[in-house]
Amino acid sequence: MALLYLQHDPKHAPFGSEPALAYEVTPVTRQARPDTDDYRRLLLQDVPLIDTRSPSDYLRGSLPNAVNLPLLSDAEHQQISECYRIQGEVAASQLEMRLIDPYERERRTQQWLNFARAHPQGYFYCARGGHHSRLCKDWLAATGAQYPAVKGGYKALRGYLLETIERVFSTYPLMVITGHTGAGKTELLNRLESGLDIEALANHRGTTFGNRRGGQPTPSDFENTLGIALLRHEQARPQQPLVIEEHIRRVGRCQLPLALRQAFEKAPLLLLRTSLEDRVEHCFQNYILVKLAEHQALDGEQEGFERFTQDLHRSLERIGEHLGGDRLRTLSGVLDYALRRHQAGDNSAHRLWIRRLLEDFYDPLYERALARKRQRIVFEGTADTLKHYVDSNLKN
């Protein structure tokens, strides 16, 4: 371990007579490695990455294997961007140097050095791999350390993932599981070797009642994790068909990529047949028991039940205009009755409104949609027979 020092500048020092700034540098961070544009390896191997973009940019979209150790704060980034827009690159660079005092520079650089010691095979990236990457390297070089960058930055990594989504859904064979609401499509999907669970990536169960605590990823985060999942499928099972549950345009708020929506329109369908009783029970388990457990795990028993109640009512109201006023009032009344019974210790009444909602709303809606694409069904059956069909086709 070595200590390297930067010259103290009393003009910027808040305490007047501070000593020089000390950085801890290990031999690992002094070893030179080249910058990389091997995006596939970075993403498939979960190589640790430093995302040096501003916190707001990071929150709008990043990568699962990246941590945010920003070069600039949000306020600094905004000021510098505005200066660049009005006065140009030279003025923006000068402002950059004035905004960040030596002690803040030391703190941020030390964070990068700590990360580099913990992850000697990692990399860092900025937005586009240009000026800010060079600035990060300059700060590190002032300590005697070197840490390689991702060429092209986040923009290049994201572009690679978007190209992967387009390429895989345009060229790979696809089989689509379809079925009535509550049929257990996701459970079947997760039993299949080639299944891709988009609902898990979107953190949503797919129906109006399918929202989950923790919220959904941003559009960019959803696309990024989808792209990585496709890369992993491609590596593990090259040219093997993908099996995906059918969705129309989105999962919750997560918009499906155009290439996937187009693939859905022509892919062969596997129709999962499940009895109404089993579908009511499936919905009861997932949208009542599991949903309530998620709320209570985060908010406690009483507040969790109140949030659960609000969640169900909001979900029902979202489809109110499709149900019509009379049907909405009836279902709301049955839901209120079920919640009162539930709070008194009997949760079984939820099956009443679930069954009515399936029979009166979801089932007719699905049957109309299925009639338009029935000619694309290549197999239908129970979960076990569908699994056998898929497994047999993959072996061939």
Residue numbers annotated as active site: 126
Place of tokens 């109110």: 320
Place of tokens 């696809």: 174
Beta bridge partners of 243: 175, 195
Rounded to the nearest angstrom, the gap between the alpha carbon of residue 112 and the centroid of all alpha carbons in its chain is 25
Q: Is 113 helix (H, G, I), strand (E, B) or coil?
A: helix
Q: Give 147's DSSP letter.
A: -
CA angle 80, 7, 18 (to 5 degrees): 95
Closest CA to 209 of 272, 287, 274: 287
Helices then strands, counting H and E runs in the chain, come out as 20, 12
Distance CA 174, CA 176 (A): 7
Distance CA 228, CA 233 (A): 9
Q: E strand or H helix at 309, and its extent? A: helix 301-318
Contact 386, 176 (CB under 8 A): no
Q: Which two tokens stand for residue 35?
A: 């910058």
Distance CA 117, CA 120 (A): 6
Place of tokens 């029935």: 374
Q: Specify the pairing of strand 269-272 against strand 66-68.
A: unpaired
Q: Using the CB atoms, write b or e for 24-47: b if 16+ within 10 Å.
A: ebeeebbeeeeeeeebeebbeeeb
